[in-house]
Chains A and B, each alone.
Chain A
């Protein structure tokens, strides 16, 4: 019974707090805000994004090429050794 009362009390508290929490939220802008009007602290220079994107592509591709080359070298060395043992 006490447990049920505690759950009920929690439910009432949540219902009571929700409108207050919603009112405390900052209101979203009601109309379009041009990018240039955003405070400088919130703007991200485009060059950083472009450089990060191109940099990531290069690093990932080079890393993968290196990974395949090293795995292929290892397997081919193993294959050569096995074939020479077979002869």
Chain B
């Protein structure tokens, strides 16, 4: 599985290098102009931020209720990626908003719940690092709450109309804008899968190192 990660990272890096030219060729959005081009990186980051939370939640469920030890490694990896993609979303979004809306931030349901999910990931990782023995079970419980937040984040823009565009924007994009968007989305998804696999490999190797140290102590 790990052998696949290097070509995946290489391919996604190549696609992300080509992306600025493809994005540059896309037409300008009529009201926002150039700044709308932040969208091509903002949208894939935001979707993968939510996907990380689902992966983290599902593996935490497997760890808590099915006693799968390896699931904990995948949950931790997804949480770390959630923090990374959450940071990308929460930084690129305000940079776009400052020009398009005139403000860096508004406390609307979409932005506030996304920030909350980011803080849940940050708390999860801090709990894992400083919580001591047993913290993995507490963190897994927290990840389940994080996953429950995902549907709320997704539908919030449709339920409460605010400055943030609705979910209907992406399916109705013209082809000229859709091609660069899905190109960037494919590149980000490959990168995400490769990084998730690498990070889980790291965690599984750490578990092996710990087991070997324990075996040495017992011998």
Contacts and interface: CB of A to CB of B under 8 A. Distances in A.
A63 B98 CA distance: 26
Interface string A75-87: 1101100110110
B199 interface: yes
B92 A46 contact: no
Interface string A27-58: 00000000000000000101101101110111
A83 B212 CA distance: 8
Interface stretch (B35-43, B115-123, B128-136, B175-183): B35-43
A54 B45 CA distance: 12
A76 B205 contact: yes
B128 to A, nearest CB: 14
Interface residues of A, number: 27
Main secondary structure of the interface of B (DSSP, over half): helix
A53 B41 contact: yes
A49 to B, nearest CB: 5
Contact of B216 (A56, A57, A69, A82): A82
B191 to A, nearest CB: 7
Contact of B20 (A46, A54, A65): A54
Interface in B188-203: 191, 195, 198-199, 201-202
Contacts of B88: 56-57, 60-61
B186 interface: no
Nearest to A58: B16
Contact of A49 (B20, B87, B95, B199): B95
Contact of A47 (B34, B92, B195, B216): B34
Contacts of A53: 38, 41-42, 91-92, 95-96
B33 interface: yes
A46 B35 contact: yes
A79 B208 contact: yes
A69 B209 CA distance: 17
A68 interface: yes
The CB with the most chain B CB atoms within 10 A, among A53, A75, A85, A86, is that of A53
A18 B208 CA distance: 66
6 contacts: A49-B35, A53-B91, A56-B95, A60-B84, A61-B84, A68-B199
Interface of A: 44, 46-47, 49-50, 52-54, 56-58, 60-61, 64-65, 68-69, 71-72, 75-76, 78-79, 82-83, 85-86
Q: Which 10 A-B pairs have the closest CB atoms?
A: A46-B34, A46-B35, A82-B212, A53-B92, A53-B38, A53-B95, A49-B95, A75-B205, A72-B202, A49-B99
Given A54-B41, A65-B9, 13 more contacts: A50-B34, A52-B95, A53-B41, A53-B42, A53-B96, A54-B20, A57-B88, A57-B92, A61-B84, A64-B195, A75-B205, A79-B205, A86-B215
